[in-house]
Amino acid sequence: MPVFRRARLRQRVRQTDPRAIPDAMWDELFDAMAHTRDRAAILLYVSSGSRAGELLGVTPGDIDWPGQHIYVVTKGTDDREPVPASPQALVVLAAYLDQAGLPAAHEPVFRTLRGADKPLSYWAMRRVLQRANEKLKTNWTLHDLRHTAANRMANDPNLTLAQVRVIMRHTDLATTGRYLNARVEDLFDALQQHYNQPRVERSFAPGYDPAEVEAVFGG
């Protein structure tokens, strides 16, 4: 089988940053959700970092209410793994289940709203987001919700990159590192403190011959 490689003089295409939803636009998207079910779903997406299909497979037994996490089956595996869920997401999820009723233990909690009762499919959830996009004149995707979760976590000073990698279930740390997006405008206060701090003066313990210090370290 032939091996395909990039031509020697062909420029490497720059890998674009993952697309995350800014906070202000996130508020607009949340407000555009027409049902408690949909608000619960997108809150769980951005607090857990779950992939679209993973979250839609969550059953009543996959929700750990006291532990504030849910269990998902990782894409491409049979591994059932815990992922975090924000308190707000769980409150809205509980409100949705109060309205819709709790399905059987082995059935997904996210259900259709009209017609025969059945699990909410990926394409139906995608259509929910499309309707919001049409209203807001945006083009967010379900995977952008996962990017948003990773972006928020990676740039939270209380979380290490290694911890975020575990939560997002990335295979390597380099993938998680793509979500670090410190910008100069975000660092203004830190830079001002850096510029205004007094210059550190070099000093040496008493007893050293100044001539020897100058010879070793320079004047």
Helices (H), the chain: 23-32, 36-48, 52-56, 87-100, 122-136, 142-154, 161-168, 173-177, 188-196, 210-217
- Rounded to an integer, the average pLDDT of 186-211 is 66
DSSP string covering 22-45: -HHHHHHHHHH--SHHHHHHHHHH
The rounded distance, in Å, linking the Cα atoms of 55 and 63 is: 11
pLDDT for the residue numbered 216: 58
The pLDDT of residue 174 is 86
Instruction: Give the span between the Cα atoms of 95 and 159, in whole angstroms.
Output: 29
How far from 154 is each of 51, 64, 88, CA to CA, in Å?
17, 24, 20
Phi, psi of 47 (to 5 degrees): -100, -20
pLDDT per residue as tens digits for the range 62-94 = 999 999 999 999 887 888 999 999 999 999 999
What pLDDT, on the 0 to 100 scale, is given for residue 185? 47
For residue 217, pLDDT beyond 80: no
